[in-house]
Amino acid sequence: MKNFTVICPGPCNASCSFCTWKEERNPLHIGAYINKLICAIKKLPVSCKAVTVTGGEPTISKYLEPILETIIHAKRFERVVLATNGSNLEANRDLISNCITHLNISRHAEQESENKIIFGSNETLTDKQLSSNIEFFSKNSIPTRIVRVYKDEDNLTDQKIFDFVEYAKTIGAYSICFSRDYRLPISSASEAEKNILKKYKPIADESCPVCYARVYLIRGIIVIFKSAAQEPSESSGDVFEYIFHPNGVLSSDWESKNKVNLQPEHVTSDQRMKEMEGIKSCGSHANPFSIGGCK
């Protein structure tokens, strides 16, 4: 199943050393951007049922609200993930909880001070704010995954992993993803994971041709070790994901070099009814999908 990713136009308030994102200097105005987004969604293959909204930092983007409303009104996505550093979650909690199914928050260290240094920002959440947000989303049936990016030189011993596991449990996370720095080649069982393999067996293997991902249950919490290609489509030699950029371009890569021009698939009304069953809906605003067409 191919994923659809929407990159929110706007800046990021952090400056992580491992970041590969570059701010788009000429994003479309909101109206034109949303029209292009609607057209892109209408043309996605029927099998594309998962969307990730990311940035920059989506929670500080003025485009976040119309993007989430567009996604929810499309009534075709079974999984809607928001990937954030969490800095402005509080102000957007009601909107976000009405529109997403999963929340991924980056947190790279269990100590607040170290986390701030890694993010290069003072706007990161305190542990208290983080657990209050996680509790809020959990009450709305939205699980939070804590994403910790690591490099080999971080030397994640089993004790360091256990410490982070205990920390994630304390703040109420549903799962943890130890994500190996994307700039490194995909690695099966990094040194960090080998430390865990000595004591635990994986309970699932979610690897694919461009992503290595093994799942563990460690001290009562789901823990994933992941190593993914920076450009999955290029690595697989096929279109692996669709990425919608701030300038309205739909491409199969993060660099936006490989544009894709999709033709809408024919969907019968029976198929559409099936697709809509059980999909989250938000009836607060006019549905943009009921108006206008795409050329």
Closer to ligand SF4 at the Cβ: 56 or 232? 56
Give the shortest CB-23-to-ligand SF4 separation in angstroms: 9
Interaction pattern, residues 37-56, with ligand SF4; x per rule: CB under 6 A: ------------------xx
| Nearest position to ligand SF4, beta carbon | 19
Contacts with ligand SF4 in 18-37 (CB under 6 A)?
19, 21
Which residues does 185 contact at the CB level (< 8 Å), separation at least 6? none
Give the shortest CB-78-to-ligand SF4 separation in angstroms: 25
246 binding ligand SF4? (CB under 6 A): no
d(CA 148, CA 133): 18
Closer to ligand SF4 at the Cβ: 12 or 224? 12
The CB density around residue 122, as the number of other CB atoms within 10 Å, is 9
Interaction pattern, residues 105-124, with ligand SF4; x per rule: CB under 6 A: -x------------------
Burial of 226 (0-12, 13-18, 19+ CB in 10 A): buried
57 binding ligand SF4? (CB under 6 A): yes
* Tokens standing for residue 287: 């549905």
Give how far Cα 127 sits from Cα of 7, 115, 135, 164, Å: 27, 10, 12, 13
d(CA 79, CA 95): 16
Let me know: does 118 contact 16? Beta carbons within 8 Å.
yes
Give the shortest CB-54-to-ligand SF4 separation in angstroms: 8
For residue 222, give the 3-state DSSP assignment: strand
Residue 168, CB-side half-sphere exposure with 13 Å CA sphere = 31
Among 2, 3, 5, 16, binds ligand SF4 (CB under 6 A): 16
Interaction pattern, residues 128-157, with ligand SF4; x per rule: CB under 6 A: ------------------------------
Give the shortest CB-207-to-ligand SF4 separation in angstroms: 23
Let me know: does 294 contact 248? Beta carbons within 8 Å.
no
67 binding ligand SF4? (CB under 6 A): no
Give how far Cα 252 sits from Cα of 41, 236, 269, Å: 14, 11, 29
Give the shortest CB-194-to-ligand SF4 separation in angstroms: 26
For residue 194, give the 3-state DSSP assignment: helix
Give the shortest CB-128-to-ligand SF4 separation in angstroms: 20
Q: Is 87 left (phi over 0), alpha (psi -120 to 50) or beta?
A: alpha
Closer to ligand SF4 at the Cβ: 61 or 175? 61
Give the shortest CB-107-to-ligand SF4 separation in angstroms: 11
By CB under 6 A, name the binding residues for ligand SF4: 12, 14-16, 19, 21, 55-57, 85, 106
